[in-house]
Amino acid sequence: MTNSKLKLGIRMGAYGGVATIYLCLVGIIETFSDRDIITGIISLGHTLLFLTALVTGYLNMQQVDKLINPAHQVVEKAPKPKDTIHSAVAGIITGISLVILVLVLDRFNIRDMLVNASPKLFELLLLEKGVTPTMVSLLPFGQGLAAGMLRLVVFSTVLGLVGGTLYLLPPTRRRSIMLGIAMVVLLGLLSDLMRIALNKPGWSEGFYKLIYTGRGLSSQGAVITLVATAAITSAWRYIPDSYTRVISVITAWLPTWIRITLASLLSVSLLLRLAWFLGIENVYPPILPDCPGLITSNISLTNCTEWISQGLSAPQESTEGGLASSAPAVSAAITLADSLMLLGIAASIFLLLVRTVQMSMSSDIQKWPAPPLQKLERAQRLVTLYLGVAALLFIPGVVGVYPSEVLVMVGLYVVMGLGLNIVVGMAGLLDLGYVAFFAVGAYSMAVLTTVDASVGGAQLSFWGALPLVVVITGIAGLLVGAPVLRMRGDYLAIVTLGFGEIARFLALSDWFKPALGGAQGIIKIPDIHIGGVEFVGPQKLYYLILVSCLIAYFITARLKDSRVGRAWGAMREDEQVADVMGVNTTAYKLLAFAMGALIASVSGAIFAAKLGTIYPHSFNVQVSITALGLLIVGGIGSLPGVVVGAFALVGLPELLREFSEYRMLFYGAAMVIMMLVRPQGLLPSARRGHKLQGNERDQDDWMRIAAESEAAGSESSG
C-alpha cells in the first residue's frame, strides 16, 4: 500500500511538473508576472507557479483517498495525516521538474525553439525577479543558482504538503480557506476595475483605500479579504435564515403604511435617478448623497436639512436645452426622496427597537408572532425581487463606463445563449452555426436603418425595424432548419457549421455588395432612441440589454415549462419515440430553429445599433463557439447557467485583458476540465440538480418504509 501511495505521489508530482513547465514555456508565468496580486508581495505569475504545487499536493491527497477507498468498499476510511508525506513527495517532484527546467535554461539556449524560454523566466523561477527587493532579502538561502534551485524544491515541497493538509481539513473549513484564496486572487486581478469603480470621491473611497493601494491589493487588504471570506462562508448557512427572519419581523411589526411609504420612496428615488441619468444629464447621480457625516453615520436633523438645502440648490453646471432646465428640480427631488427615505428607515429601526423593548418587558410569551407562512413567502419574494431590480438598475452607475461595456457584451451573449439554449438545450439540436442568425439580425437591422444612401434606403428607426428584423430572422431560421430536418447529432453540427460560414461569405461576397456593403460592411447605423432619450454609450445601452435579457429569459423560461417545451424535451431525448407519442417532430424542429433565430436576431440588432457599423468579420465562427461554450460551462438546458456561463466566458476575459493572449488556451482548458469534472455545468438545470439530491433523500425514506412494511420487495430490484 505504502509503495503504491509513493508511486502515486511520484506520478502526481510528475503531472504537476509537466503542468508548471508547460505554463512557463507558453509564457504565461512571464506575462502574468507583471501583474501584482498582492502589491509588493506576490505577482500573478508566481501565484500561478505556486498554486500548481499546491493543487498537485491537493489532488494527490484526493487520489490517495480514492486509493484507500475503492468504489466497492462500504465503510469509508479517512486518509491519515501522515499521508500528507506523499503530497510532499508530489511537491518535491514538481519542484525537481522546475529545477530541471532551470538547469536546461542555464546550460542551453532553447529560445530558438521555445520563444518564451527567456532570461526573465529564468530569473522569475529563481525568485529573483518579480518580487520586491524587501521580499528578496527575506527569502531563504540567499542569491545564486544553487540557492534558487533549493528554494524552488523547498517551496514546492511545503506547498505540496499544505495542499495535502488542505484536503484533510473538514469540508466547511477547507471550503472557506479555498474560497478565501480564490477571493484574494480575484480581487487582486480585478484591481483595475475596482479602482475605476470605487476610487472616486464619496463613500466608496474609504472602502477602496482599506484594501487596495494604488497599484493593487495591499497586504492588509489581502488579510482582510481572507478573514472576511472565511467568516462569510462559515456564516453562510445562517444568512438566508436571518434574511427570512428580518423580513418576517418587518412584515409582522412595521405597519403596512410605513412599508409602502418606504418602498415607494425608494422607487421614486431610483426612478428619478434613472430619469436624471437617461434624459437629463449624462452623469449618474451618486448612490447616496455626498453629505458630510453620512459615512460616520452621524445622521442628525441638521445634516438632513443641510442636504435638502444643498440638493435644492444642487447642480451648478447643466447642459443647455429644454431638458436641462428641469435638472435642478429633479436633482432636488432625488435628494429630498433620499433624505425622506433615510429618515423613514431610521424611524422604522427606532420603532422596531421600541417594540423589542416593549415586548421584552411584557410577560407575553409569544414575543415575535410569525406572520402566516404564505404572507411571509410572498413578502420575501417581493423584497428579494425589489432589491434585485434595484441592484440591477444601479449597476452601471456604480461600476462606471468600461465595466458597463463589458456588461453590455455579456448581455448580448446572454440573449444569444438563451436563444441557443432553445435549440441545443431544449430541443437537442446541436447548432454550430448560430452566428448566422446573429448576423442576419444585425445585417437586416443595418440595412433597414442605415442613413448611408449607398445601401438600404428604408431608413427606419430602430423600433420601426425591429419587428421586421425579428420576422426576417425567424424566416431565416426556417430556411436553415428545413434542409437539415433529417439530420441528427454530428451531421447536424457539421452542416450548421457550414451555414454559419455561408452567412459570413454571403455578406462578404461581391454579389451582395450593393445590398450588404461587402467587406466594408454597413456604416452609419443610427443610435437607438426612445422618445427624447438616446441610448448612446454602454451605461445607457446597459438598460436596453437588461430589458432584452429579461424578456428573453422570461420567454425561454415559460417555453421550457409548457406543452411546447415538453415536446422539445421529448424530441431531445428520443426523436422517434417523440414522434410515436404524437409530437410532430418536423414542425417542432422548425419551431426550435425559428425561436432560437428570432431571439438571436434581437441580440444582433442591438449589436448593430450599438456599434453603428458592422463588418462581415464580426460574425465569425468564434461567436457560435462562444455561445455554445457558455451553455456548456453554465450547464446545458439551465437558464441561470446561461447567465453564469456568459459571465465566465465573455465577462472575465474582457475584464482580465492580460488573459486575452491566452484566451483560447483557457477556453480549451476550461472546456476540458468542465467535461471531466463537472459535465453537468456550473449551474446545472436547477430542477435536475435539486432532484438528484432530492431523489436520494426520498429514496432513503422510501427504502426505510418499504423495509419496515414488507420484507421481500421485488420492486427495488433492477
Partner 1 sequence: MPHLLESRRLLKDFGGLNAVDHLDFHIDEGEIVSLIGPNGAGKTTFFNLITGFYPADDGKVLFDGHNLLGLSPYQITELGIARTFQTVRLFQEMTILENVMVGQHCRGRSGVLGAVFRPPRYRAEEARIRKKAEEQLAFFGSRLGGYRLDQMANSLSYANRRRLEIARAMGTEAKLILMDEPSAGMNPKETEEIASLIGKLRDERGFTILVIEHDMKVVKGVSDRVVAMDYGHKIAEGTYENVANDEHVIEAYLGRKATREDQDAS
Interface residues with partner 1 (CB under 8 A)? 554-555, 558-559, 562-567, 569-570, 572-574, 576-586, 591, 595, 688, 691, 694-695, 698-699, 702, 714-718
φ, ψ of residue 534 to 5 degrees: the values are -100, 125
Distance CA 446, CA 601 (A): 12
CA distance 494 to 662: 27
Which sign, positive or negative, has the C-alpha torsion 391, 395, 399, 403? positive
Collapsing DSSP to helix, strand or coil, 453 comes out as coil
Nearer to partner 1, 364 or 696 (CB): 696
Nearer to partner 1, 298 or 717 (CB): 717
Question: Do the Cβ atoms of 396 and 539 come closer than 8 Å?
Answer: yes
Nearer to partner 1, 353 or 705 (CB): 705
* Smallest separation, CB 71 to partner 1 (Å): 20
The distance of closest approach from Cβ of residue 151 to partner 1 in the complex, given in angstroms and rounded to an integer, is: 52
Nearer to partner 1, 431 or 575 (CB): 575
For partner 1, the closer of residues 428 and 538 by Cβ is 428
Quote the CA–CA distance of 62 and 466 in Å, as a whole number.
Answer: 54
In the complex, minimum distance from the CB of residue 717 to partner 1, in angstroms, rounded to a whole number: 7
Among all chains, which residue has been given the C-alpha cell 444601479? 394
Q: Hey, what's the cell of 202?
A: 464619496
β-strand partners of 535: 528
Q: How far is C-alpha 231 from the chain's CA centre? A: 22
Query: Which one, 152 or 583, has the nearer CB to partner 1?
Result: 583
> SS3 for 614?
strand
Give me the least distance between CB of 678 and partner 1, in Å please: 17
- Cβ distance 443 to 615 under 8 Å? no
**Euclidean distance between CA atoms 438 and 225, whole angstroms:** 41
**Residue 613, CA distances (Å) to 442, 468, 513, 527, 549 in order:** 10, 19, 15, 11, 23
Cell 412584515 locates to 251
Please say which residue, 378 or 691, places its beta carbon nearer to partner 1.
691
Is the distance from CB of 139 to CB of 131 less than 8 angstroms? yes
CB of 424 to partner 1, least distance (A): 14
For partner 1, the closer CB: 119 or 694? 694
* Nearest CB to partner 1, comparing residues 402 and 553: 553
* Closest distance of CB 428 from partner 1, Å: 10
Q: How far is the CB of 460 from partner 1 (least distance, A)?
A: 25
Contacts of 83 (CB under 8 A, 6+ apart): 5, 61, 64, 164
Cα separation, 158 vs 563, whole angstroms: 58
The DSSP symbol for 612 reads: S
Round to whole Å and give the CA distance between 118 and 111.
7
In angstroms, give the least distance from the CB of 121 to partner 1.
48
Cell of 319: 447642459
Using a 10 angstrom Cβ sphere, with 0-12 exposed, 13-18 middle and 19 or more buried, the burial of residue 268 is middle
Query: Judged by CB, which is closer to partner 1: 298, or 709?
Result: 709
Query: What is the rounded CA–CA span in Å between residue 411 and residue 551?
Result: 12
Q: How far is the CB of 471 from partner 1 (least distance, A)?
A: 14
The C-alpha atoms of residue 456 and residue 421 are separated, in whole angstroms, by 32
User: Distance of CA 365 to CAs 253, 359, 360, 611, Å?
Assistant: 16, 9, 9, 65
How, if at all, do strands 533-535 and 36-38 pair?
A: unpaired
Q: How far is the CB of 712 from partner 1 (least distance, A)?
A: 9
Q: How far is the CB of 407 from partner 1 (least distance, A)?
A: 26
> Shortest approach of partner 1 to residue 708 CB, angstroms?
15
Query: Which bin fits 218, alpha (ψ -120 to 50), beta or left (φ > 0)?
Result: beta
Three-state secondary structure call for residue 294: coil
Nearer CB in complex with partner 1: 201/582: 582
Which residue, among 452, 448, 468, 445, has the nearest Cα to 460 in the 3D structure? 448
Q: Tell me, what DSSP letter sits at residue 511?
A: T
Contact predicate 224/303, CB 8 Å: no
Nearer to partner 1, 583 or 674 (CB): 583
Shortest spacing between CB 685 and partner 1, in angstroms: 9
Sort 587 into a burial class: Cβ within 10 Å, 0-12 / 13-18 / 19+. Answer: exposed
CB of 485 to partner 1, least distance (A): 12
Q: Give the list of residues 6+ apart from residue 389 with CB closer than 8 angstroms, or none.
A: none
**Lookup result for grid cell 427631488:** 333
The minimum distance between CB 694 and partner 1, in angstroms, equals 8
The least CB distance from residue 551 to partner 1, in Å, is 10
Nearer to partner 1, 3 or 576 (CB): 576
